[in-house]
Amino acid sequence: METVLRAAAIYLVLMVVFKIAGSRTLLQMTSFDLILLLIISEATQQALLGDDFSVTGAALTIITLVTIDIVLGKLKSRFPVVEQVIDGGPVILVENGNLLTDRMKMTGISPDDVLEAARSGQGLERFDQIKYAVLEVNGHISIIPRADKES
């Protein structure tokens, strides 16, 4: 019982914390963020297993975490509301070259981030070359170039 509750509690805490941190943490993964992730895994390890050194305990912890993931995945595909709450949805940041500043502010994406994605992905330099810039659920910015400005 204890093992299952520990795993479920850690899963919940991590989900809430990373929901609050937003998808930007994944988008802008600096070397410090990588170290932070390593420290987080180190800190959760103690709380997950405690003084349990048995194979059964580790197996039950892994099974619990994976099962919560499977059940949440099933809930997401059945109820779109759950998916919106847990994963969020895509957000349009630039439409036909116009910056949608309100949405950028809410998602914490700066115009520079959009331009960076435009340069690295499509080789575009200016906002008026962008038809749509979309912040996807996985934290990446998709750039769709304007057909007439392309060359």
Partner 1 sequence: MKKEDSSGQAVPIQENLRWIRLEWLIQRIGEYVLIALVILGACGLFSKGVLSNGSARSPDGTIQVEYERFGRVESNMDMRIRYNAPVTDRFTVTIGGGALDNLQIQTLQPQPLEAVTIGSDLRLTFSARNTGPDHAIWLGLQPRNAGRIHVTIHGDGHAPARFTQWIYP
Which residue number, 60 or 100, has a Cβ lying nearer to partner 1?
Answer: 60
CB of 101 to partner 1, least distance (A): 44
- Residues 50-69 contacting partner 1, CB under 8 A: 51-57, 60, 63-64, 66-67
Sheet holding 130-135: strands in order across? 98-99, 91-95, 130-135, 141-145
Which residue number, 32 or 53, has a Cβ lying nearer to partner 1?
Answer: 53
* Alpha-carbon gap, residue 29 to 18, rounded angstroms: 14
Residue 70 lies near partner 1 (rule: CB under 8 A): yes
CA of 106: how far to CAs of 103, 111, 112, 114, in Å?
Answer: 5, 13, 15, 14
Which residue number, 2 or 116, has a Cβ lying nearer to partner 1?
Answer: 2
- Centre a 10 Å sphere on the Cβ of residue 25 and count the other Cβ atoms it contains: 17
Which residue number, 64 or 107, has a Cβ lying nearer to partner 1?
Answer: 64
Dihedral sign for Cα atoms in the order 64, 70, 73, 77: negative
Contact set with partner 1 (CB under 8 A): 1-5, 51-57, 60, 63-64, 66-67, 70-71
